[in-house]
């Protein structure tokens, strides 16, 4: 599978999207949703919020998922489109350990599990024979020191790929797949790199453009 860079939008657009996501957590606490004690919303992101974030990355909304594992946190700058329209994000943890979370259209069963290469933390294929074991509704897959869990959720193939040294974290992440909360989504959006070249030069305000049709003011005053 290949990975493309996230679609770049103007900084103002990213800022507005992030503010909207953060503000969505301000519901009445009596309603069961709202910001946590840390100020980050625990409420699930709305379909509209997910769609806007997906457009930012160039991914399809149904693949914008995430997970959680003790000792690991998502790295927003490493979130973006994966393959044609899937989504992936890397998680960083103790002593520089990392794993990659990816979601694409597809499926995997115990029958074909060993025929698909295990992925490394960068999304590349790991060589060598693949060993597969069914475990708690997921497929635990290993190739050498590489290990990943594959889970199919509503037609979406989720893979949590890393090292066998982080086995417990990978297993935990495979069991915690979910649609991001508005707080999680806001953090990913805020950390998305933006290409300065994405700003439309035509949007820069010029002092010599009068109201109306926007044509330059070339008139000569009485002294000219």
Q: Is the pLDDT of residue 142 over 70?
A: yes
Give residue 221's pLDDT band: very low, low, confident or very high (50, 70, 90). Answer: low
CA distances from 162 to 120, 149, 201 (A): 6, 9, 42
Instruction: Output the pLDDT for position 91.
Output: 98
Half-sphere exposure of 150 (CA within 13 A, CB side): 25
CA distances from 152 to 90, 103, 124, 155, 223 (A): 19, 9, 20, 6, 77
pTM exceeds 0.85, yes or no: no
Give residue 195's pLDDT band: very low, low, confident or very high (50, 70, 90). Answer: low
Instruction: Output the pLDDT for position 57.
Output: 96
- Dihedrals phi, psi of 162, to nearest 5 degrees: -165, -140
Instruction: Output the pLDDT for position 49.
Output: 96
Nearest to 161 by CA among 81, 71, 77, 69: 69
Instruction: Output the pLDDT for position 194.
Output: 64
Q: Is the pLDDT of residue 39 over 80?
A: no
Instruction: Output the pLDDT for position 179.
Output: 96
């Amino acid at each position: 599978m290949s990975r493309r860079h996230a679609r770049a939008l103007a900084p103002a657009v990213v800022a507005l999207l992030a503010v909207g996501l953060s503000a969505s957590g301000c519901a009445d606490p009596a309603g069961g949703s709202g910001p946590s004690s840390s100020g980050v919303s625990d409420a699930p992101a709305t379909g509209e919020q997910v769609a806007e974030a997906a457009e930012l990355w160039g991914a399809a909304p149904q693949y914008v998922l995430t997970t959680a594992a003790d000792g690991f946190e998502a790295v927003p700058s490493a979130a973006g489109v994966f393959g044609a329209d899937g989504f992936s994000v890397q998680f960083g943890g103790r002593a520089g350990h990392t794993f990659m979370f990816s979601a694409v259209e597809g499926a995997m069963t115990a029958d074909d599990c060993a025929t698909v290469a295990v992925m490394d933390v960068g999304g590349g294929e790991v060589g060598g024979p693949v060993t597969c074991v069914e475990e708690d509704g997921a497929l635990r897959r290993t190739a050498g020191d590489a290990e990943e869990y594959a889970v199919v959720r509503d037609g979406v193939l989720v893979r949590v790929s890393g090292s066998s040294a982080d086995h417990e974290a990978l297993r935990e992440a495979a069991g915690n797949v979910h649609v991001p909360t508005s707080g999680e989504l806001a953090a990913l959006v805020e950390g998305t790199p933006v290409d300065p070249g994405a700003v439309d030069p035509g949007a820069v305000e010029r002092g010599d453009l009068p109201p109306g049709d926007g044509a330059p003011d070339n008139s000569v005053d009485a002294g000219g």
